[in-house]
Amino acid sequence: MNYFRRPLRKSGRFFGLMAVVVMAVLTVYAFVFMRERMLFLDAPFMLSNIINGGSPQIMEHRYGSVITQLWPWMGMKAGLPLIWLMRLYNGAFNVFYLVVTGLLVFRWRAYGPAILMALYYTAMCDKAFFWTNNEIHQAVAWFFVWYGIYLYQREKGTPSWKRVVWFGLTATVAAVTHPLMVPVLAFTWIFLLMTEKSQPGDGYIRVWMMVMMVLACGIRIWLSLRAGWYDRDKVETVQNNLLSGLLGVFEKPLAGQLLHQYTHGLIVGATLGIIGLVLLIIRRKYVLALLYLLVVTAYHALFLSAFDTWVDFYSQSEMMPLTIIYGLPIVRFLPEYVGSRLLFGLTAMVFLFRLILIPVASTPFTARVSHTMELIREMKDQNISKAVIPEDKDLESIYMMTWGLPIETTMASAISGDRQRTVKPLPADKLDEATRIPPNQFMDCFKTIPINSMNPDYFSVDSVHPYDVLKH
């Protein structure tokens, strides 16, 4: 009996509650590790843009991310202090994911998708947990809104036109929020078409839903190719690498690093992938198994083409969408072969194992915050409010990436009660030049901006003294 597909089964409800508990634990983790997450690269950068811009700041047309940006923006409008804006932004991500999981379980009774969603945020994730701002995680939450509403309306017998409209709207929001949703949405829809039992009127409805799916994915592809810069740059990199030979992509050093990850940090993901394929073969879904292999292979080829080295927090985020593809056959078919009690126990063990790894993975992020506070103390000792430091391997080994330091140090000093101080890493031969920048200029993460363009209610950077070289 497929317990995940029969929403009224008591055992299915227990699986759904397990998913809610897992997502609740992740939400608690988010608040515990607020500083590690909100003083790391994109999060403080985006928050400063929201504060200085006075409105949500959508990057690369990833519109679904507005759901998390609204909260610090509203907090700013209410005049809340910076530390509360950071808390609101930090919590908005995981609270959103928890709310969606709650809807899956308590409203839509989609227990299988709830388990799949919890697997997405844990199975191949530990260090990625601390990189909050990758829009793929928000896109996945929207994906499960699409998935849950689709299953619920199908089960309920909602009028056809409402089903098509909701299908198109939610699929489009999921797709435009991140381009990696395109293969996930496409495969999931084909999977549903090939595994669901037909209902009266399915043919007509499915044609319109297919049109909606093509439009949703087409909009995201067009935006990535024509209307952005980051996605377009990645597409060009992929094209150049693939044109030089597909086999060459799998011979890159990154391929060996990825294989190592699949036998270590991503071993749960690898296990899910193998089990998913085996289940499709056992069920004699040979065409679907072939498509599964093609999609998984293509996804890995795109990943290997777009990047050159494995960076834990970043690369995990890029690989995590595969969890959904791996997990679809498992959620659909495994309960027919494994008893509910045994399956419940195994699932709980997987979640417990992965939940333990996230706090363990916090070490480099906590070290990052500690080093930032040490830099601020050194600046205080040397009576410096704006500093430049040489960008070297030692600094990169601590920070992983250093481009966010100007706003990270500004926010860290602001919430510590000290005067606001900022640090800009630069190549050693650029330090003297930086000390000649006019005092009223702020060297932000990617450009130099006038200090008076920053929101004075939250940022009071020294506009009198120039940048100094920090000696440490």
User: Is 5 a residue whose pLDDT tops 50?
Assistant: no
Quick one: 177 and 326 in the same domain? Answer: yes
Alpha carbon distance 201, 207 (integer Å): 10
Domain boundary among 299, 333, 360: 360
Q: What's the average model confidence in pLDDT over 351-375?
A: 98
8 falls in which pLDDT band (50, 70, 90)?
Answer: very low
The predicted-structure confidence for 92-116, as pLDDT tens digits, reads as follows 999 999 999 999 999 999 999 999 9
> Is the CB of residue 401 less than 8 Å from the CB of residue 365?
no
Q: Flag whether 5 is in a domain.
A: no
Residue predicted with more confidence, 271 or 199:
271
Is 4 a domain residue? no
At residue 10 the predicted structure's pLDDT band, cuts being 50, 70 and 90, is: low
Residues 328 and 386 in one domain: no
What is the tens place of the pLDDT at every residue in 53-79? 999 999 999 999 999 999 999 999 999
355 pLDDT more than 50:
yes
Do residues 216 and 200 share a domain?
yes
Q: Report the percent of the chain where pLDDT is more than 90.
A: 89
Question: What confidence tier does 165 reach under pLDDT thresholds 50, 70, 90?
Answer: very high
On whether residue 1 sits in a domain, the answer given is no
Q: Whole-prediction pTM value?
A: 0.96
Specify if 427 maps to a domain. yes
φ, ψ (nearest 5 deg) of residue 178: -165, 135
Same domain, residue pair 378 and 454: yes
Same domain, 291 and 143: yes
Class of residue 268 by CB neighbours under 10 A (exposed 0-12, middle 13-18, buried 19+): buried
Sign of CA dihedral 188, 194, 200, 201: positive
Give 400's DSSP letter: S
Residues 345 and 384 in one domain: no
Q: What share of the chain is helix, strand, coil (3-state, %, to 5)?
A: 70, 5, 25
Q: Are residues 193 and 278 in the same domain?
A: yes
Number of domains composing the chain? 2
Amino acid at 469: V
**Both 348 and 401 in a single domain?**
no
What is the extent of the structural domain holding 273? 10-360
Q: Is residue 180 part of a domain?
A: yes
CB 256 within 8 A of CB 249: no
Q: Do 340 and 369 fall into the same domain?
A: no
The pLDDT, as a whole number, for residue 1 is: 35
Q: Does residue 163 fall inside a structural domain? A: yes
Question: CA–CA separation, 234 vs 190, rounded Å?
Answer: 26
Specify if 2 maps to a domain: no
Which whole-number Å values give the CA distances from 417 to 80, 81, 188, 364, in the listed order? 15, 12, 49, 24
Are residues 351 and 384 located together in one domain of the fold? no
Asked if 400 and 42 touch (Cβ cutoff 8 Å), the reply is no
**What are 171-191's pLDDT values in tens digits?**
999 999 999 999 999 999 999
pLDDT over 60 at 438, yes or no: yes
Is 63 part of any domain?
Answer: yes
Residue 449's alpha-carbon distances to 56, 60, 384, 453, in angstroms, are 19, 21, 20, 7
Confidence band of 11 (pLDDT split at 50, 70, 90): low
Nearby residues of 338 by Cβ (< 8 Å), 6 or more positions away: 346
Do 351 and 368 sit in the same domain of this protein? no
| Distance in angstroms (rounded) separating the CA atoms of residues 35 and 256 | 33
The arithmetic mean of pLDDT across residues 418-438, rounded, is 96
**Whether 321 and 307 share a structural domain:** yes
Choosing from 339, 360, 381, the residue where a domain stops is: 360
As a whole number of angstroms, the distance between CA 91 and CA 38 comes to 10
pLDDT classification of 2: cutoffs 50, 70, 90:
very low
Burial bucket for residue 117 (CB in 10 Å: 0-12, 13-18, 19+):
buried
Domain-ending residue, one of 311, 339, 360 = 360
Instruction: Return mean pLDDT, the chain.
Output: 95
Q: Residues near 205 by Cβ (< 8 Å), separated by ≥ 6? A: 160, 163, 164
Give the DSSP H/E element, type plus range, for residue 240.
Answer: helix 230-243
pLDDT of 423 > 60? The answer is yes
